[in-house]
Amino acid sequence: MNLSLAVAILLVSLCLAQTKKYEGFGSLTTGGQGQTVYHVTSLNDDGSFGTLRDAVSQGNRYIVFDLGGQIVVDKDLEIMGSNVTIDGSTAPYPGITLKKSKFDIVILTIKGIHDIIVTHIRVQGLLARGVDTDHEHMGTIAILGHEERPVRNVIIDHVTTRNAIDSGLDIWGEVSSVTVQYSLIAINDSPQTISHYGRGEFKKRRNISIHHNIYARNNERNPQLRADTRTVDYVNNIVYDWGYWNGKGYGIRVKNKWRPGEPKVTMNIINNAFIATRRPGWALVYGKSAGGEENDEGPDHVLPQGTLYRESDMDSLYVMGNLLPEENMDQYSTISDPLPVPDYARVTTYPVSALADSVVPFVGTHYPLADEEEIFRAITDSLKRMK
């Protein structure tokens, strides 16, 4: 195949990927399609008519914005019913930013409901250099399910979630059929946990697609996964500059054997780019620490990416086609083929060499801030140097 033909095929595939609006396990989510259109006409947070708080006070709504700007959130903002779309792409410049007024709240919560789409919204916490990180409920977005009120069918699309201490985009409890796509998860401490733990109770997360996102300048948890989390399809993401706040941290960690009887994680990790500025051996971590140790029972030496190693105590992990630092220590597969993904949930997949052009320009809300644009430039430069 000549170079011009290869470029043409890539451009066609990019156009097709952008035409197919939502992909992955959440792609059958209907959101507020066909529901009452609610116009947000105020940036206040008092719950009066025309505010976002009033818009999400019940289900069965397609929420649009007649103005752009910042909504300062004074208490948890919870979507109170199913079949809702929050469509920030309808807002004029500078788009919609939800920013918390104090630490101990979660800006946006999806709890015990179904068929929710959130697109083109920025959610911004208060984390900054020198800020005390010892706070409870210090997040920006949380998807929370319970056995009696599970969450299912959720799409997080072109969302920017930043400056959270924790819960930058947590998926917690009884949750299934979720897509997180083309989103920027940046400048957080510990942004994404996909997990649940309780007193011997292990709620389930099933069928989660995380694709074509950028995780940048977080300390860790890009994401961290544990405790009966099954069939996570992690494809074409970029993880950049972990350990940003304290020089420690990691890219992704798949926890294992943390509590007696704790179920394990099954996951595809395919064609992602891990770009380190520090701790290059900690891009992808199995168990507690990089390298073989008692929590993963891995080999006592580094195996090449994709090597099939069945003696590990990890569950089904398929790791292939990723750009990883040469110092990375955990990168073997425990299964010979990817976890099966049904046709409707398969995502467009590019070679990692194409991510600078196929992912970076399309990530985050449609009006990036200056420091977000700087992240995109830094990642693009890094990827092109690595070719």
What pLDDT digit, counting tens, does each position of 276-299 carry? Answer: 999 999 999 999 999 999 999 999
CB 116 within 8 A of CB 62: no
pTM of the predicted protein model: 0.94
DSSP bridge pairs for 253:
224, 285
Look at residue 268 and tell me if it is in a domain. yes
Average pLDDT over every residue of 103-113: 95
| CA distance to 103, 130, 189, per residue, from 126 (Å) | 7, 11, 11
In a domain, 132, yes or no: no
Please indicate, yes or no, if residue 273 is contained in any of the structural domains: yes
For the chain, what is the mean pLDDT? 93
**Range name among 51-55, 261-265, 373-377 with the lowest pLDDT average:** 261-265
- The pLDDT, as a whole number, for residue 92 is 98
Using the predicted structure, report yes or no on whether residue 317 has a pLDDT greater than 60.
Answer: yes
Residue 15 has pLDDT above 80, yes or no: no
Helix (H, G, I), strand (E, B) or coil at 238: strand
Q: Is residue 206 part of a domain?
A: yes
Its domain, for residue 279, covers 192-387
CA distance 224 to 251: 9
Q: Is residue 130 part of a domain?
A: no
Q: What share of the chain is helix, strand, coil (3-state, %, to 5)?
A: 15, 30, 55
pLDDT > 90 in the chain, percent: 87
Domain count, the chain: 1
Domain assignment present for 116: no
- pLDDT tens digits along 165-185: 999 999 999 999 999 999 999
Identify the weakest region by mean pLDDT among 6-15, 99-108, 330-339.
6-15
Per the listing, tokens 């250099």 go with 129
| Separation between Cα atoms, residue 174 and residue 147, nearest integer Å | 6
Amino acid (1-letter code) at residue 272: N
What is the token pair recorded at 40?
Answer: 């947000």
Q: What is the structure's pLDDT at 202?
A: 79
Is residue 120 domain-resident? no
Residue 260: band (very low, low, confident or very high) from pLDDT cuts 50, 70, 90 = confident
pLDDT at 5 over 50: no
| Structure confidence at residue 120 as a pLDDT band (50, 70, 90) | very high
Q: What is the reported pLDDT for 131?
A: 80
Residue 289 lies in a domain: yes
Nearest to 124 by CA among 195, 213, 184: 184
Residue 386 CA to residue 322 CA, distance in Å, equals 13
